[in-house]
Amino acid sequence: MRLARALAAFVLALAGMTLTTAVATADVQAAVTKLSHSDAASRFSAAGLTWSSSGGCSDRNNPTCTSFEQINLTTVQGGITLKRASGCALRITGGTETGHASGTYSHWNGYKLDFALSTCINNYVRGTFTSIGGNKWRSGSGNIYFLESNHWDVTYYNCGGC
Is residue 127 located within the same domain as residue 107? Answer: yes
Are residue 11 and residue 71 in the same domain, yes or no? no
Q: Is residue 1 domain-shared with residue 78, that is, in the same domain?
A: no
Domain count for the chain? 2
Q: Report pLDDT for 24.
A: 40
Q: What is the CA radius of gyration of the chain?
A: 20
- 24 & 2 share domain: yes
Amino acid at 90: L
Same domain, 16 and 38: no
Whether 16 shows a pLDDT value over 50: the answer reads: no
Angle at 29 between CA 93 and CA 34, to 5 degrees: 30
Give the model confidence (pLDDT) of 35-70 as tens digits: 999 999 999 999 999 999 999 999 999 999 999 999
Q: What is the pLDDT of residues 17-33, one digit of tens each?
A: 433 333 343 444 445 89
Position 82 confidence tier, pLDDT thresholds 50, 70, 90: very high
76 and 15 co-located in one domain: no
pLDDT of residue 9 exceeding 60, the answer is no
Q: pLDDT tens digit string along 84-142?
A: 999 999 999 999 999 999 999 999 999 999 999 999 999 999 999 999 999 999 999 99
pLDDT: which is higher, 23 or 149: 149
**2 and 51, same structural domain?**
no
pLDDT at 162: 81
| Residue partners of 126: CB distance under 8 A and separation at least 6 | 137
What is the domain extent for residue 9? 1-31
Q: Do 27 and 42 reside in the same domain of the chain?
A: no
Instruction: Indicate whether 80 pLDDT > 80.
Output: yes
Q: Does residue 38 sit in the same domain as residue 23? A: no
Tell me what pLDDT residue 2 has: 52
